[in-house]
Amino acid sequence: MYLSIMYTQEQEQTLFDIGKKILSGSTELYTPNQLAENLRNVIIYADWKYYLHSNPVFSDAEYDSLFSMLKKLEQEYPHLIHPGSPTQRVANGLTEKFPPATHIVPMLSLDNTYNPEDLRDWDRKCRELTGKTSIVYCVEPKYDGASISLVYRDGILVRGATRGDGITGEEITTHVKQIRSLPLAAPLSDYGIAEMEIRGEVVIHKDVFKTYNEQRIKEGLPPLANPRNAAAGTLRMLDPEEVRKRKLSAVLYHISDYVLTQGSNVPAKLHNHYDALHWLYQLGFPSPVQEAKCLEGIDAVIAFCEEFETKRDELPYEIDGLVIKVNDFEDQEKMGMTSHHPRWATAFKFKARQATSKLLRVEFQVGRTGSVTPVAKIEPVAVGGVTISSVSLFNEDVVREKDLKIGDKVLVERAGDVIPYIVKPLSELRDGSEQSIVFPTHCPDCGEVLDKPEDEAVWRCINISCPSQVIERLAHFCSKDALDIRGMGIANVRKFYELGIVKDIAGLYHIDWTRVAALEGFGEKSVQNLKDAIQNSLKQPLYRLIYGLGIRHVGITMAKTLASSVTHLKDLYNWDESKLLALEDVGPKVASSIMHFMKTPENQYLIDLLEQAGMNLSNQQKDIASHAAGTLSGKTFLFTGTLTRFKRSEAEALVEQQGGVIVSGVSSKLNYLITGADAGSKLEKAKKLNTVSILTEEEFMQLIGYEL
Ligand code: IVH
């Protein structure tokens, strides 16, 4: 039923053509059964190109459109749903607990080596046990993630499990199905395989991890220590939908068991690990074929390991070493295993990203929202090639949870380009001289009493004129995502503030340039550049200003939503809670923060000052659109769900061409909501409002006079 996953060029062409044909609307040529099968095959092919070859063949919109067609078809004809259908990754509801899953074969660990001598000793044992004079090894990365076991029965992924104690893990099938690089089905029956257990590692790519942690920090949450913890933690989250959002990846490197149906001999025909990795890859599994290398003799292995360690940071994921495996399966068999690890494999561990140091003192830094963050000053220590002397402790809860004390020996970790982190104190090394960390009751900068709202972990200085806060607010206003004033990084902002050249945000537009020119390090050119950067900031789009104002809980995406919902910043002065709540992703906390900011006289005064300085406060795009003449003039539109006839951007352009206005949220100002497949919360909101015309895609086409 499934095409073999290693597609020939011809098969690729055929699947691409079928996809295009379906996208062009020529679906009437197929019976529902044929259409479902074609859609399944095209989507599985598209996933394969995307996840195993990083080479997408359809645009995101085209992919979404194919996916929603398949979903619609399966809704209409439930008997067409196949367990291997790409739609079956979708999870509904929370997982209450993870039932135990006994592994078919125990999940063993690996023995470790740390230097060339260890490797030579191991090679000697390998030669003794196999009786060979020279051995071919297969070397591959040691992925630093969470181990998983997958069971495929009749070609379908039927069970995913964590390692647990090696004998029994936890069943996480729904969760592993959220990992898009893992196939839900593979043509194993073509090889007479009834059941197969595969081992591998779930990892989070460094860039995904970084973005995720940045988000957590913005939300006032402590970042996760490293991608490994993030991967393991994600697999045990209750909501599979959250798992999907975390964009996990997986690598599969070991077939631990298989059961044949009839007289097949294919896995038996695989003679070595390297071929097995390639075979897995051909079946559509994400095995490390690009990374794995066969080398003869331990000298070649040692040279490879040493070379690879220098390139460790170039990889998109974290590895903590390399795994060296005796390549030949017969040799592996001869060598066998201990109760702890196979004798035919060993890990070559890279230099640790962890080191011990001593906690000297804790300083408290005040951020732009007044948050007081404890920062550990530690004895300088080199971790992963970088010297660390300062490590954020995030908030009081983190300090209490870790039970940190001044004078403690601490374990510090820094993985790749991840921010350094104190893993734990080495409490067993305490000598009684350690002292508790005392949290200040008053702001370390301005002396104001600190406040801690009940539902928060962070103490705050509530004096908005607190110098530390003003400096941080200024730096945020000038930052890249906000008004993007190059040359006004934190160091210059602090300098200008301390010299009284810029005292607040509005002051940026009234700088006494003769004073700046007199400063050391400010030549004619750099003064002119700074002047230009400040001048240009006046013309920035509205969302950058909204973000730059530093309203709590308003990140860049929210700033864009707000900007596109108004024609002028001051419109927001009159927005009430219900209007704000109708916007996408706005909950009570965010709404209250925006309302509070917009109604505070000091903030309104700042906005007036910026306006006088010539700052753009209008949503220019919207101005243009609403003034355009056309049949839809002045009417507001919003699209939700997956459109099948247009790309969303095309549909929006059609509205704007006719004078309509695209808004980003459902509110009483919205005239038309156009619903594609799987419309969700926006549709619910619009229904409740009772004032919005809800149109299908077809009705929308009629409205704009588009030929059906
Ligand atoms: S082979 C019998 N290969 O490292 C097979 N393990 O520290 C034993 N790991 O539990 C595993 N990358 O979770 C193997 N390329 C790789 C690996 C790998 C990471 C993990 C695995 C194992 C742990 C031992």
Q: Looking at the CA of residue 347, tell me the nearest atom of ligand 1.
A: 7
Which of 10-14, 23-27, 399-403, 622-626 bottoms out in mean pLDDT, i.e. has the lowest? Answer: 622-626
Q: How far is the CA of 323 from the centre of ligand 1 (A)?
A: 7
Q: How far is the CA of 139 from the centre of ligand 1 (A)?
A: 12
Sign of CA dihedral 517, 520, 524, 529: negative
List, for residues 163-213, the tens digit of each pLDDT value.
Answer: 988 899 999 999 999 998 999 999 998 888 999 999 999 999 988 888 888
The DSSP output letter for 224 is P
Rounded Cα distance, 590 and 608, in Å: 23
Residue nearest to atom 21 of ligand 1 (CA): 147
Residue nearest to atom 10 of ligand 1 (CA): 109
Residue 110: how many other CB atoms lie within 10 Å: 18
Ligand 1 site-directed mutation target among 109, 110, 280, 335, most atoms within 8 Å of CB: 110
- Give the angle 172-177-181 at the CA atoms, nearest 5°: 125
pLDDT at res. 578: 92
pLDDT-based confidence at residue 625 (cuts at 50, 70, 90)? very low
pLDDT at res. 217: 72
List, for residues 508-529, the tens digit of each pLDDT value.
Answer: 999 999 999 999 999 999 999 9
pLDDT at res. 622: 45
What's the mean pLDDT in 340-355?
Answer: 90
pLDDT at res. 689: 83
Pull the structure tokens for residue 371: 């948050």
Which of 238-247, 376-385, 554-563 bottoms out in mean pLDDT, i.e. has the lowest? Answer: 238-247
**pLDDT at residue 2 greater than cutoff 60:** no
Measured CA to CA in angstroms, residue 347 lies from 84, 323, 477 at distances of 35, 4, 48
pLDDT at res. 455: 76
pLDDT at res. 418: 67
Q: How far is the CA of 502 from the centre of ligand 1 (A)?
A: 56
Nearest residue to 338 via CA among 614, 109, 104: 109
Q: Looking at the CA of residue 337, tell me the nearest atom of ligand 1.
A: 2
* Phi, psi (degrees; rounded to nearest 5) at 258: -155, 155
**pLDDT at residue 153 greater than cutoff 70:** yes
Q: How far is the CA of 700 from the centre of ligand 1 (A)?
A: 54
pLDDT at res. 624: 39
Q: How far is the CA of 116 from the centre of ligand 1 (A)?
A: 20
Residue nearest to atom 17 of ligand 1 (CA): 142
pLDDT at res. 96: 60
Residue nearest to atom 16 of ligand 1 (CA): 142
pLDDT at res. 60: 78
Nearest residue to 614 via CA among 529, 527, 545: 545
CA 358 to chain centre: 33
**pLDDT at residue 154 greater than cutoff 70:** yes
Q: How far is the CA of 336 from the centre of ligand 1 (A)?
A: 16
Q: Looking at the CA of residue 140, tell me the nearest atom of ligand 1.
A: 15
Nearest residue to 493 via CA among 480, 482, 477: 477
List, for residues 456-502, the tens digit of each pLDDT value.
Answer: 788 999 998 999 999 999 999 999 989 999 999 999 999 999 999 99
Which of 169-173, 639-643, 671-675 bottoms out in mean pLDDT, i.e. has the lowest? Answer: 639-643
Parallel, antiparallel, or unpaired: how do β-strands 636-640 and 672-675 relate?
Answer: parallel
Please give the residue that has the higher pLDDT: either 385 or 479: 479
Ligand 1 site-directed mutation target among 107, 142, 324, most atoms within 8 Å of CB: 142
* Phi, psi (degrees; rounded to nearest 5) at 695: -115, 145
Nearest residue to 71 via CA among 53, 57, 85, 55: 85
What's the mean pLDDT in 235-262?
Answer: 88
* Phi, psi (degrees; rounded to nearest 5) at 28: -65, -15
Give the position of tokens 């990083």. Answer: 54
Ligand 1 site-directed mutation target among 289, 290, 323, 332, most atoms within 8 Å of CB: 323
Q: Looking at the CA of residue 146, tell me the nearest atom of ligand 1.
A: 13
**pLDDT at residue 308 greater than cutoff 60:** yes
CA 707 to chain centre: 41
Please give the residue that has the higher pLDDT: either 265 or 62: 62
Active site residues per annotation: 142
Is the distance from CB of 483 to CB of 559 less than 8 angstroms?
no
Q: How far is the CA of 165 from the centre of ligand 1 (A)?
A: 14
List, for residues 529-542, the tens digit of each pLDDT value.
Answer: 999 999 999 999 99
Which percentage of the chain shows pLDDT scores above 90?
60
**pLDDT at residue 295 greater than cutoff 90:** yes
List, for residues 360-371, the tens digit of each pLDDT value.
Answer: 999 999 999 899
Residues with a CB atom less than 6 Å from ligand 1: 108-110, 140, 142-143, 147, 201, 253-254, 323, 342, 345, 347
**pLDDT at residue 3 greater than cutoff 60:** no
pLDDT at res. 33: 92
pLDDT at res. 471: 96
Which of 88-92, 137-141, 409-413 bottoms out in mean pLDDT, i.e. has the lowest? Answer: 88-92
Residue nearest to atom 18 of ligand 1 (CA): 142
Residue nearest to atom 12 of ligand 1 (CA): 142
Q: How far is the CA of 109 from the centre of ligand 1 (A)?
A: 7
Helix (H, G, I), strand (E, B) or coil at 535: helix
The DSSP output letter for 420 is P
What's the mean pLDDT in 137-158?
Answer: 95
Nearest residue to 639 via CA among 597, 677, 594: 677
Tell me the HSE value of 498 on the side-chain side, using a 13 A CA sphere. 8
Q: How far is the CA of 318 from the centre of ligand 1 (A)?
A: 14
Based on its alpha-carbon atoms, the radius of gyration of the chain, rounded to whole angstroms, reads: 30
Residue nearest to atom 23 of ligand 1 (CA): 109
Is the distance from CB of 312 to CB of 352 less than 8 angstroms?
no
pLDDT at res. 707: 54
Is the distance from CB of 186 to CB of 152 less than 8 angstroms?
yes
pLDDT-based confidence at residue 218 (cuts at 50, 70, 90)? low
Ligand 1 site-directed mutation target among 201, 249, 312, 337, most atoms within 8 Å of CB: 201
pLDDT-based confidence at residue 700 (cuts at 50, 70, 90)? confident
Ligand 1 site-directed mutation target among 147, 285, 293, 339, most atoms within 8 Å of CB: 147
**pLDDT at residue 679 greater than cutoff 90:** no
Is the distance from CB of 70 to CB of 677 less than 8 angstroms?
no
pLDDT at res. 667: 84
pLDDT at res. 436: 96
Q: What is the mean pLDDT of the chain?
A: 89
pLDDT-based confidence at residue 570 (cuts at 50, 70, 90)? very high
Please give the residue that has the higher pLDDT: either 560 or 225: 560
Q: How far is the CA of 103 from the centre of ligand 1 (A)?
A: 15
Residue nearest to atom 9 of ligand 1 (CA): 142
Pull the structure tokens for residue 652: 């929006």
Nearest residue to 615 via CA among 572, 649, 558, 568: 568
Rounded Cα distance, 336 and 328, in Å: 13
Instruction: List, in sequence order, the alpha helices (H) in 407-523.
Output: 467-478, 490-498, 513-517
The DSSP output letter for 438 is P
pLDDT at res. 277: 96
pLDDT at res. 343: 96
Residue 571: how many other CB atoms lie within 10 Å: 15
Strand ranges in 398-531 using DSSP code E only, listed in sequence order: 405-406, 409-413, 421-425, 435-436, 450-451, 459-461
Which of 115-119, 289-293, 457-461 bottoms out in mean pLDDT, i.e. has the lowest? Answer: 457-461
Q: Looking at the CA of residue 147, tell me the nearest atom of ligand 1.
A: 13
Pull the structure tokens for residue 28: 């009437």
Alpha-carbon dihedral of residues 464, 469, 474, 477, nearest 10 degrees? -80
Is the distance from CB of 382 to CB of 355 less than 8 angstroms?
yes
- Give the angle 696-701-704 at the CA atoms, nearest 5°: 125
Parallel, antiparallel, or unpaired: how do β-strands 249-260 and 193-203 relate?
Answer: antiparallel
Give the position of tokens 């308003």. Answer: 554
The DSSP output letter for 473 is H
Residue nearest to atom 15 of ligand 1 (CA): 142
pLDDT-based confidence at residue 229 (cuts at 50, 70, 90)? confident
Q: How far is the CA of 54 from the centre of ligand 1 (A)?
A: 24
